[in-house]
């Protein structure tokens, strides 16, 4: 007989470990224990059942225990909770239908996942109209509750991936959604500037977005915020975060990390070499920050599972750590990110600078062409690529994928500038967004252009800084910064004498391209010229949601989102 | 005064060189000569005017000479042909409206582009209903001719990018199109297996595809093929290829390469260091094949232009050569490629193997999910990535872009396996096509699976090889190879005794995934098991167009394209 391999958890990581081991070793005896009724369901698709984009909940389940048995000779036991690991005896204790039994292992793999955080400090958290979404049972429970109680208004607590996707799908299902987030923005992987596009997308679709506010109480048909505000809500979805399910590991004396996840080595072995762990319950190494961290993403879970299976079967593996690449679609907008953002780079004390570009995702002449807002982070003075974010149409994630690949290969701005991407007018532009961002990054790194970030515009406008809008008069008339002077790029060379040389001059156009040309011209004529990153299109988005949410006066005559 | 810089050619490369030099050097005197009436038009969008996706021809023109002057202080002279380079005097001779004059240069940049090949050997090639498409004038001429002569039927000669896009847009405009190609396939960047999907796309849209046949004569309302066939065609578009416009350089005694393009060094200087050349007229270095070659792509032209401008202005540059990444959309299908394909890898004598996978472009549950046919080429025994091709929906090019980035960084299969791509169910799958292809590649490289290519299926079927179709009976009933045995993966373990051990066993399912599991199982039980790359979905496409075009009997009961 071959090795006895027990796997705890039958979703994503667990199922992948089991299947890969089977392919490598026909002799292994493989048993998978899953606490819930289903294995191998599509977690990531759960929210889409609410809007019936996934029309039936049973379609969320991809494989049955029967299929595991007949196809892979893998024994899958659902409704079976592993309650204890007995490391000396190399057994686990399994609870099923009120009974317990032991199973012997040679190798044990833990893939328990994570669970939604449900803070006891929130009054009413235990009410039956409060839901955490982790599996098919949870989403069906929520959906049934909404229907049976004819709920019209809901509160989603937390604006991460799950919270946002649940909010979107509730909204698509016709419900009023209040999205409550404690931070000053949703979607932490995005920086504060780019995320404003998503804030606007939420507002445009009628979602009541409440930032910077905490939930204190869940009552009968309402939730209460920290400032006392009462918001009507017949059902509440808690999505403020997940916690690794590490209790079983902890009880068995396995080492945990600082973030509460299971500690693993380069082979995904825990502190007991007979016990492996993969997926959302483990702490992974972020190769950019140099820190161990939690990462609840399906892709890395699969990779960890494969690596663990390979090591269990005696194959060579390597562990390069992770950088974290993710994307969310909210209504018509896609937002992708990889690597570090400004917050995480700052937290690591890494010297960095950014490039912000807003090219079209395909040639402007082509139907459906949309701007991509793309931001690139690179190390100073090396130009090493640290991260990227892109928000726009369907093609946004494509650009971030390329940057992710370059980061994985330790590439720099020159590498990114030189990457040859597939171009046809219907899929991109000859100078792709990725190449363009790298070129701008090199200009910044080499000092060919000085730039100020969008977060400084309001201060510049209010302090009477000299701001030149180099767009054409028609564009200026359709909306401009209240204190900007309009000198179109096409007139700048004949109106040079209007530009002061005794103070900084801030330039913008629609997407920063014309103003970059203007800045280069002025710099060579002794002007202290600064290009405003993001430009009018970028700061229309940047300001809009903040203005609406904070009820503040716009600094511009009209926003311009085109 | 600054340097006098003259640029020959005002499209793509030429315009980019001029603009970049201006940004770097305000003092330079820059003049651009363009033979035609327009500078800076969108070559790549020309075909889309025929279908009115680009509604007016004037929208193809992106910048006017006036805009170059006012915005960039660049003197653009259209209808101005540089007829001679006088290297001793450092002047060029310019012809404009019947007069000629000389202009002095410090630096000369050649960006003349390429022109359609119009072989004199074809009878009737000079007729006024024969068109080559190079610029806005050409496409308007063709369009006007079609309308004024009420043409209903056209012949497009050559199935490269331009030929295919012209054919598609003529078809979308309601004309009958005969597409005539001398080779056995269209779109040379794709291998013979994957290109069959495009052949089917052409056939499905009513294009009369004629492969392996040459044009011999263009007559009054018809074209004649080498075998004597006469095809009705009121207008003929010649798109068999382009030739670099190197005559001016040659006349000036500059070195040309073996392919007839202008020779340049690492800085894009010609054999005369005061003269640079960029774009379709130069021979570039392919870093995978190690050969100098012609590459008519807009992206590389832009990169060359920037590098030349930087070097002219004294900036550091680097030249990593090119690998060639491209994509075409034909109707609803996107086909992208990068690096080497089987033909070019063989021509270089590189040892390689392939991985062929057909994953979904997004989670199967999500609306609009489509299979991506993806093929990866890697070096044996190193696993270095050499190239990739993907055909499918809009997301096909995204996968190839990632592979291109990895090739640029000299990455291998493990690098590609480990790349973290942005995943959400609406944009991809947790195990992305790129990662999956790398995993399959590693399995092949490491000998965990043996595979046969699709081109061998017919022979296997006809020679009575033992082929097992491991799909479920319902799938088998809906279409199968005529000589295949159906043993579903779910029954294989109980029917092992049916499998012969004295001869090779060939396995397939729908996309190779189940058959890979079957192959691993059988290999570990002493069976000489081979997985058929491409599987039923792949070889339905592979066989269909060939069967239709060659009027041959199918080897399968029904094709299956889902």
Reported as a single tens digit per residue, the pLDDT across A306-355 is 999 999 999 999 999 999 999 999 999 999 999 999 999 999 999 999 99
Across the interface, whether the CB atoms of A419 and B398 are under 8 A apart is answered no
Across the interface, whether the CB atoms of A12 and B430 are under 8 A apart is answered yes
Distance (Å) from the C-alpha of residue B464 to the closest C-alpha of chain A? 27
Residue pointed to by tokens 């001398």: B182
From A298, which residue of chain B is nearest by alpha-carbon distance?
B430
Tokens read off for B208: 């009369």
B318 shares contact with chain A (CB less than 8 Å): yes
Whether the predicted pLDDT of A442 surpasses 80: yes
Query: Would you state the pLDDT for residue B40?
Result: 86
What's the CA gap between A509 and A11, in Å, rounded?
A: 50
Q: Which A residues, 329 through 358, put their C-beta within 8 Å of a C-beta on chain B?
A: 329, 334, 336-338
What is the per-residue pLDDT across B245-274, written as a single tens digit (0 to 9) for each?
999 999 999 999 999 999 999 999 999 999
**CATH topology identical between B4-114+243-312 and B130-240:** yes
Q: Which A residues, 137 through 176, put their C-beta within 8 Å of a C-beta on chain B?
A: none
Q: Which of A48, A408, A422 sits opposite B400 (nearest CB)?
A: A422
The H-or-E segment that residue A66 falls in is helix A65-72
Across the interface, whether the CB atoms of A427 and B325 are under 8 A apart is answered no
Length of chain A: 562
CB B260 within 8 A of CB B244: yes
Structure-derived torsion over alpha carbons of residues B116, B119, B124, B127, reported in degrees to the nearest 10: 30
What's the CA gap between B336 and B512, in Å, rounded?
A: 21
B44 shares contact with chain A (CB less than 8 Å): yes
Task: Name the 3-class secondary structure at B425.
Answer: coil
Distance (Å) from the C-alpha of residue A98 to the closest C-alpha of chain B? 32
The structural domains of chain A, with segments of one domain joined by +, span 4-113+243-312, 130-240, 332-445, 451-550
Across the interface, whether the CB atoms of B23 and A426 are under 8 A apart is answered no
Tokens read off for B225: 């093929």
Across the interface, whether the CB atoms of A402 and B397 are under 8 A apart is answered no
For domain A4-113+243-312, which CATH number applies: 3.50.50.60, 3.40.50.1100, 3.40.720.10, 3.40.50.300? 3.50.50.60
Distance (Å) from the C-alpha of residue B99 to the closest C-alpha of chain A? 31
Q: Which of B325, B366, B427 sits opposite A420 (nearest CB)?
A: B325
Whether the predicted pLDDT of A525 surpasses 90: yes
B562 shares contact with chain A (CB less than 8 Å): no
CATH architecture of the domain covering B130-240: 3-Layer(bba) Sandwich (3.50)
Indicate the burial class of B357 (C-beta count within 10 angstroms; 0-12, 13-18, 19 or more). Answer: buried
B417 shares contact with chain A (CB less than 8 Å): yes
Across the interface, whether the CB atoms of A44 and B424 are under 8 A apart is answered yes
At a CB cut-off of 8 Å and minimum separation 6, what does A361 contact?
A369, A370, A371, A372, A392, A393, A394, A395, A396, A428, A429, A433
CB A18 within 8 A of CB A7: yes
At a CB cut-off of 8 Å and minimum separation 6, what does A50 contact?
A139, A142, A143, A146, A166, A169, A170, A172, A173
Tokens read off for B49: 């005017």
A422 shares contact with chain B (CB less than 8 Å): yes
- Provide the β-strand partners of residue B506: B467, B530
What's the CA gap between A257 and A230, in Å, rounded?
A: 39
Across the interface, whether the CB atoms of B54 and A365 are under 8 A apart is answered yes
| Cα–Cα distance list, B386 to A337, A419, B346, B410, B411 (Å) | 27, 15, 12, 9, 9
Query: Would you state the pLDDT for residue A530?
Result: 98
Written as one string, the DSSP assignment of B84-115 is EEETTTTEEEEEETTEEEEEE-SEEEE---EE
Q: Which of A71, A327, A415 sits opposite B490 (nearest CB)?
A: A71
Query: Would you state the pLDDT for residue A556?
Result: 97
In degrees and rounded to multiples of 5, residue A490 shows phi and psi of: -70, -10
Identify the sign of the CA torsion A392, A397, A398, A402: positive
> What 8-state DSSP symbol labels residue A454?
G
Residues of chain A in contact with residue B326, where contact means CB-CB under 8 angstroms, are 422-424
Identify the sign of the CA torsion A43, A47, A51, A53: negative
Q: Which of B320, B306, B17 is nearest to A443 (CA)?
A: B306
Distance (Å) from the C-alpha of residue A224 to the closest C-alpha of chain B? 32
| pLDDT band of A247, cuts 50, 70, 90 | very high
Q: Which of A42, A73, A514 sits opposite B425 (nearest CB)?
A: A42
Class of domain B4-114+243-312: alpha beta
CB B160 within 8 A of CB B241: yes
Q: Which of B260, B333, B322 is nearest to B297 (CA)?
A: B322
From A338, which residue of chain B is nearest by alpha-carbon distance?
B422
> What 8-state DSSP symbol labels residue B263?
P
**Catalytic residue IDs of A:** 509
> What 8-state DSSP symbol labels residue B36?
S
The H-or-E segment that residue A426 falls in is none
From A418, which residue of chain B is nearest by alpha-carbon distance?
B303
B548 shares contact with chain A (CB less than 8 Å): no
- Provide the β-strand partners of residue A148: none
Residues of chain A in contact with residue B60, where contact means CB-CB under 8 angstroms, are 365
CB A546 within 8 A of CB A552: yes
Q: Which of B22, B329, B366 sits opposite A424 (nearest CB)?
A: B329
What's the CA gap between A148 and B178, in Å, rounded?
A: 61
What is the per-residue pLDDT across B474-533, written as a single tens digit (0 to 9) for each?
999 999 999 999 999 999 999 999 999 999 999 999 999 999 999 999 999 999 999 999
What's the CA gap between A78 and A87, in Å, rounded?
A: 23
Across the interface, whether the CB atoms of A491 and B297 are under 8 A apart is answered no
At a CB cut-off of 8 Å and minimum separation 6, what does B231 contact?
B155, B178, B180, B208, B210, B222, B223, B224, B225
Across the interface, whether the CB atoms of A517 and B72 are under 8 A apart is answered yes
| Cα–Cα distance list, B117 to B9, B158, B213 (Å) | 19, 11, 17
Residues of chain B in contact with residue A487, where contact means CB-CB under 8 angstroms, are none
Task: Quickly name the fold that domain B332-445 has.
Answer: Enolase-like; domain 1 (3.30.390)
Distance (Å) from the C-alpha of residue A121 to the closest C-alpha of chain B? 32
Q: Which of B299, B300, B406 sits opposite A409 (nearest CB)?
A: B406
Structure-derived torsion over alpha carbons of residues A144, A146, A147, A149, reported in degrees to the nearest 10: 110
B212 shares contact with chain A (CB less than 8 Å): no
CB A212 within 8 A of CB A118: no
Across the interface, whether the CB atoms of B72 and A322 are under 8 A apart is answered no
* A192-204 and A161-172 helices, crossing angle to 10°: 20
B387 shares contact with chain A (CB less than 8 Å): no
Query: Would you state the pLDDT for residue A40?
Result: 86
The 10 Å Cβ neighbour count of residue B104 is: 12
- Sheet with A505-508: list strands edge to edge: A451-452, A529-532, A505-508, A466-469, A485-486
Task: Name the 3-class secondary structure at A57.
Answer: helix
pTM of the model: 0.97
What's the CA gap between A461 and A21, in Å, rounded?
A: 62
A421 shares contact with chain B (CB less than 8 Å): yes
Ranges under pLDDT 50 in chain B: none
Q: For the stretch B377-391, what's the b/e string if a residue is b when 16 or more beta carbons lie within 10 angstroms of its beta carbon?
A: bbbeeebbbbbbbbb
Distance of CA B304 to the CA centre of its chain: 19
CATH, domain range A451-550 = 3.40.250.10
What's the CA gap between B300 and A128, in Å, rounded?
A: 61
A-B Cβ pairs (cutoff 8 Å, strict): 256
What's the CA gap between A36 and A8, in Å, rounded?
A: 11
CB B90 within 8 A of CB B106: yes
Question: Span A211-222, mean pLDDT?
Answer: 96
A75 shares contact with chain B (CB less than 8 Å): no
Written as one string, the DSSP assignment of A74-108 is -EEESSEEEEEEETTTTEEEEEETTEEEEEE-SEE
> What 8-state DSSP symbol labels residue B255?
-
| Cα–Cα distance list, A194 to A179, A375, A535, A540, B420 (Å) | 19, 8, 13, 11, 21
Across the interface, whether the CB atoms of A405 and B406 are under 8 A apart is answered yes
What's the CA gap between A430 and B42, in Å, rounded?
A: 10
Question: Span A98-127, mean pLDDT?
Answer: 97
What's the CA gap between B140 and B171, in Å, rounded?
A: 17
Its ipTM equals 0.96
**Best residue in A44, A46, A329, A405 for a mutation probing chain B (most B CBs within 10 Å):** A405
Whether the predicted pLDDT of A1 surpasses 80: no
Length of chain B: 562
- Provide the β-strand partners of residue B275: B108
């Amino acid at each position: 007989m071959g090795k006895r391999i027990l796997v705890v958890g039958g979703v994503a990581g667990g199922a992948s470990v089991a299947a890969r081991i089977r392919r490598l070793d026909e002799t292994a005896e493989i048993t998978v224990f899953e606490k819930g009724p289903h294995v191998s369901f599509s977690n990531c698709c759960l929210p889409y059942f609410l809007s019936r984009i996934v029309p039936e909940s049973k379609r969320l389940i991809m494989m049955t225990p029967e299929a595991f048995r007949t196809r892979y000779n893998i024994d899958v036991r659902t409704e079976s909770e592993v309650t204890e690991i007995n490391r000396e005896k190399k057994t686990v204790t399994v609870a099923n239908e009120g009974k317990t039994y032991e199973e012997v292992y040679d190798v044990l793999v833990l893939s328990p996942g994570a669970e939604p955080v449900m803070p006891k400090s929130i009054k009413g958290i235990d009410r039956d109209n409060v839901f955490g979404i982790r599996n098919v049972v949870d989403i069906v429970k929520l959906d049934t509750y909404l229907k049976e109680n004819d709920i019209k208004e809901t509160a989603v607590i937390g604006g991460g991936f799950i919270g946002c996707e649940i909010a979107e799908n509730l909204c698509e299902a016709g419900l009023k959604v209040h999205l409550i987030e404690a931070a000053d923005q949703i979607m932490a992987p995005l920086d504060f500037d780019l995320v404003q596009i998503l804030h606007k997308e939420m507002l445009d679709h009628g979602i009541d977005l409440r930032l910077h506010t905490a939930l204190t109480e869940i009552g009968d048909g309402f939730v209460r915020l920290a400032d006392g505000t009462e918001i009507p809500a017949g059902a509440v979805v808690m999505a403020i975060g997940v916690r690794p399910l590490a209790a079983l590991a902890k009880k068995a004396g396995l080492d945990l990390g600082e973030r509460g996840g299971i500690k693993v080595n380069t082979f995904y072995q825990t502190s007991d070499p007979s016990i492996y762990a993969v997926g959302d319950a483990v702490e992974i190494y972020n190769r950019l920050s140099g820190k161990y961290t939690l990462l609840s993403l399906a892709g890395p879970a699969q990779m960890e599972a494969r690596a663990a299976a390979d090591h269990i079967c005696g194959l060579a593996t390597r562990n390069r750590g992770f950088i974290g690449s993710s994307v969310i679609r909210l209504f018509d907008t896609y937002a992708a990110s990889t690597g570090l953002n400004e917050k995480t780079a700052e937290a690591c004390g890494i010297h960095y600078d950014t490039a912000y570009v807003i090219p079209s995702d395909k040639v402007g002449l082509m139907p459906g062409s949309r701007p991509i807002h793309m931001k690139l982070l690179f190390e100073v003075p090396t130009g090493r690529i640290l991260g990227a974010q892109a928000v726009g149409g369907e093609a946004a994630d494509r650009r971030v994928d390329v940057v992710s690949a370059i980061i994985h290969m330790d590439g720099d701005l020159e590498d990114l500038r030189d990457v040859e991407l597939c171009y046809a007018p219907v899929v991109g532009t000859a100078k792709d967004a990725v190449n363009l961002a790298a070129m701008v990054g090199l200009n910044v790194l080499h000092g060919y252009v000085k730039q100020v970030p969008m977060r400084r515009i309001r201060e510049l406008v209010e302090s009477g800084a000299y701001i030149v809008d180099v767009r054409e008069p028609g564009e200026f008339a359709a909306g401009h910064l209240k204190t900007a002077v309009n000198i179109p790029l096409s007139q700048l060379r004949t109106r040079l004498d209007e530009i002061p040389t005794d103070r900084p001059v801030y330039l913008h156009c629609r997407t920063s391209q014309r103003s970059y040309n203007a800045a280069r011209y002025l710099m060579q004529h002794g002007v202290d010229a600064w290009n405003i990153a993001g430009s009018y299109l970028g700061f229309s988005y940047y300001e809009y949601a903040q203005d609406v949410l904070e009820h503040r006066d716009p600094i511009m005559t009209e926003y311009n989102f085109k």
